[in-house]
Chain A
Amino acid sequence: AQSVTQLDSHVSVSEGTPVLLRCNYSSSYSPSLFWYVQHPNKGLQLLLKYTSAATLVKGINGFEAEFKKSETSFHLTKPSAHMSDAAEYFCVVSGYNFNKFYFGSGTKLNVKP
């Protein structure tokens, strides 16, 4: 079975400092992995996705993530946080037939001035 664990429910950083949001997955095959962001009162938006090509994936707004099969991880990073990055972030893994998607429980990112 597939599952996703987001290790931190809340992360707080200062503006201009690096961001690290952790995600571990469990899968019996090579899945596709995604990060979505949800700003308050707005719909979910795709940040980036891994689909078995390059293991280092670059997304929008300066975010990137690295797929590490040996560690079953797909952590999201950004070198320098901006106030507008404050939101909730979800790590997602695809199901075996790639038509079903499993979301983590989310990490709320707070950015302090």
Chain B
Amino acid sequence: GAGVSQTPSNKVTEKGKYVELRCDPISGHTALYWYRQSLGQGPEFLIYFQGTGAADDSGLPNDRFFAVRPEGSVSTLKIQRTERGDSAVYLCASSSDRSGGGTDTQYFGPGTRLTVL
């Protein structure tokens, strides 16, 4: 079946602009995660959704970052007043989370490469 998809694959924007990044998880997956991967680093946790609610948003770096998942499927990561330091690859992952303990396999999307000029 279809995997996790993310759009756009690339986004170039100017400092101060607003951007939205979209994630379509695998159908039926209740858990959804956003990560940020800067050049030469491992992915950094941003936020975790269980269904429609953000169960853990402790990784969001500041209040310019916000994410929603209104119907428990597609999620959008929103970044206001973008800064050059926001440039990174933003990854989305989903899992079925059947065990409820976060040990189910996370399936990652290809990522959105965000460049802030």
Residue pair A100, B111 in contact (C-beta under 8 Å): no
Query: Which residue from A4, A46, A97, A102 sits with its C-beta under 8 Å from B106?
Result: A46
Q: State whether the Cβ of B90 lies closer than 8 Å to any Cβ in chain A.
A: no
B62 interface residue, CB < 8 Å from A?
A: no
- Within 8 Å by CB of B56, from A43, A45, A100, lies A100
Q: Known: A100-B58, A103-B42. Is A32-B103 also a contact (CB below 8 A)? A: yes
B103/A44 in contact, CB under 8 A: no
B65 within 8 A of A: no
- 23 A–B contacts, CB within 8 A, in A order: A32-B102, A41-B110, A43-B3, A43-B111, A44-B91, A46-B106, A49-B105, A97-B56, A98-B103, A99-B48, A99-B55, A100-B45, A100-B48, A100-B56, A101-B45, A101-B102, A101-B106, A102-B45, A103-B42, A103-B43, A104-B42, A105-B40, A105-B41
